């Protein structure tokens, strides 16, 4: 993180170059997944997981109980998975003819992400029998951190057998696939870190009065980068990660799960404020709007309500999911460790937004006092 913060602070060109490399790596990974899955399907003549109505409405994950709370909580994963492209909004001023090209880029990216995810999820069933994963999910060897590697390992082995390789040859191909996804995910995550280290905080600082920020936080350097604010951000994020690592009782898998939940909630919760602000922005006739994508009031109202209900509900049920899971445990399993894990997950998800919300409130109140 320190290296990324240092490189990002050097300017936007560094971000552009690395995110381009990361994008190519992720695209190639999806191509390998889909083409490999289709090859296995053609050779075998049938998908490993039968395609029927039950496969689309039920989950092989034994920890997913199918309740309405669990289903709605999963929506935040869907929002997070299909979203993310909006984080590049901070680079709109670096786009050639932004009024025309930036909306096109956003729409094109959103369509590629939506179609790509859906096709990739379907393709996995071509070479993976999900029912065989249940023991690994139950014993904890398969989790959010390990499943991508196990998935590509299985794909490599399935492609190897489809090509007529020996068992050892198929295993070796599976190992190559697993290592390739490791490299691709490293580049993808680093590309995301490059963008997220710069874009959100740059939008916050440039979209608010400089006097709102104490000290040098609201200052931009000669390259137009919020360098000081990014280093403060690095220190805060490092502290939060170390704190979670020290307090997590479930080992690396539980630590990774907590970080995932924290990222999902913290990344999607701001959408609520953005969509509310967008609604007020559209209603304010005194603001000049040289570019308008949604011109119908009905469409604006419908989309505002839809986002508020889906994203708000998904975040709410995600936050309470650890409590629901703990309450549903048999009395004998409601141990001090289980209680500690529940509280750690719950507090981790609400702690960040709550603390930073309080800080923002006092910053705004202090700014208004000084300027009234």
Residue pLDDT, tens place only, 146-200: 788 888 999 999 999 999 999 899 999 999 999 998 888 888 777 777 777 877 7
Where does the pLDDT of residue 296 fall: very low under 50, low under 70, confident under 90, or very high at 90 and above?
Answer: confident
pTM of the model as a whole: 0.68
> What average pLDDT score do residues 261-286 get?
81
| Best CA proximity match to 88, nearest among 8, 5, 203 | 203
1 Cβ contact list (under 8 Å, min separation 6): 193, 234, 237, 238
> What average pLDDT score do residues 64-86 get?
66
Mean of pLDDT over the chain: 80
> What average pLDDT score do residues 272-293 get?
82
pLDDT for 209: 82
| Best CA proximity match to 268, nearest among 75, 88, 1 | 75
Phi-psi region of 251 (alpha: psi -120 to 50; beta: other; left: phi over 0): left
pLDDT for 254: 65
Where does the pLDDT of residue 50 fall: very low under 50, low under 70, confident under 90, or very high at 90 and above?
Answer: confident
How many other C-beta atoms are found inside a 10 Å radius of the C-beta of residue 181? 22
pLDDT at 38 over 90: yes
pLDDT at 129 over 90: no
Q: What percent of the chain clears pLDDT 90, i.e. is strictly above it? A: 10
What angle in degrees, to the nearest 10, is found between the helix axes of 251-283 and 336-370?
A: 30
Q: What is the pLDDT of residues 310-337, one digit of tens each?
A: 888 878 877 887 787 788 778 777 777 7
pLDDT for 160: 93
149 Cβ contact list (under 8 Å, min separation 6): 178, 181, 182
Where does the pLDDT of residue 275 fall: very low under 50, low under 70, confident under 90, or very high at 90 and above?
Answer: confident
Where does the pLDDT of residue 220 fall: very low under 50, low under 70, confident under 90, or very high at 90 and above?
Answer: confident
Q: What is the DSSP letter of 163?
A: T
CB 114 within 8 Å of CB 82: yes
pLDDT for 63: 61
Q: What is the pLDDT of residues 241-262, one digit of tens each?
A: 777 667 665 556 666 667 777 7
pLDDT for 172: 93
Q: Phi and psi (nearest 5°) for 216?
A: -95, 5
Which range among 2-6, 7-11, 201-205, 227-231 shows the weakest confidence by mean pLDDT?
7-11
Q: How many helices (H) and strands (E) does the chain have?
A: 12, 0
pLDDT for 84: 62
Where does the pLDDT of residue 351 fall: very low under 50, low under 70, confident under 90, or very high at 90 and above?
Answer: confident
pLDDT for 171: 92
Which range among 28-37, 98-107, 171-180, 306-315 shows the weakest confidence by mean pLDDT?
98-107
Q: Give the whole-angstrom CA distance, residue 227 versus residue 232.
A: 9
Query: What are the angstrom distances between the C-alpha of 110 and each of 83, 86, 125?
Result: 8, 9, 23
């Amino acid at each position: 993180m320190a290296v990324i913060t240092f490189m990002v602070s050097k300017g936007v060109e560094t971000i552009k170059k690395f995110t381009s490399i990361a994008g190519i790596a992720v695209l190639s990974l999806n191509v390998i997944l889909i083409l490999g899955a289709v090859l296995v399907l053609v050779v075998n003549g049938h998908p490993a997981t039968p395609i029927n109505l039950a496969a689309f409405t039920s989950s092989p994950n034994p920890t997913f109980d199918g309740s309405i709370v669990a289903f709605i909580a999963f929506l935040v994963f869907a929002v997070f998975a299909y979203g993310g492209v909006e984080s590049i909004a901070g680079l709109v001023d670096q786009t050639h003819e932004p009024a025309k090209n930036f909306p096109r880029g956003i729409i094109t990216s959103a369509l590629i992400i939506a179609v790509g995810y859906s096709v990739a999820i379907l393709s996995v069933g071509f070479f993976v029998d999900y029912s065989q994963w249940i023991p690994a999910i139950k014993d904890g060897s398969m989790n959010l951190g390990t499943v991508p590697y196990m998935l590509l390992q299985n794909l490599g082995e399935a492609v190897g057998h489809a090509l007529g390789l020996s068992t050892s040859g198929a295993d070796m191909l599976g190992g190559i696939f697993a290592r390739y996804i490791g490299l691709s995910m490293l580049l993808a995550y680093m590309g995301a870190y490059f963008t997220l280290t710069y874009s959100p905080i740059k939008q916050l600082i440039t979209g608010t009065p400089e006097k709102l920020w104490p000290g040098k936080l609201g200052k931009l350097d000669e390259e137009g980068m919020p360098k000081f604010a990014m280093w403060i951000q690095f220190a805060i994020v490092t502290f939060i990660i170390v704190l979670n690592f020290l307090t997590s009782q479930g080992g690396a898998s539980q630590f990774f799960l907590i970080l995932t939940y924290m990222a999902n909630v913290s990344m999607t919760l701001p959408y609520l404020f953005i969509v509310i602000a967008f609604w007020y922005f559209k209603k304010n006739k005194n603001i000049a709007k040289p570019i308008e994508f949604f011109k119908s009031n009905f469409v604006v109202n419908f989309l505002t309500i839809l986002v508020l209900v889906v994203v708000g509900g998904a975040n709410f049920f995600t936050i309470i999911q650890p409590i629901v899971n703990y309450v549903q445990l048999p009395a004998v399993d409601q141990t001090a460790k289980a209680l500690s894990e529940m509280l750690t997950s719950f507090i981790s998800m609400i702690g960040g937004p709550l603390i930073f919300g309080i800080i923002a409130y006092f910053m705004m109140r202090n700014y208004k006092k000084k300027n009234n």
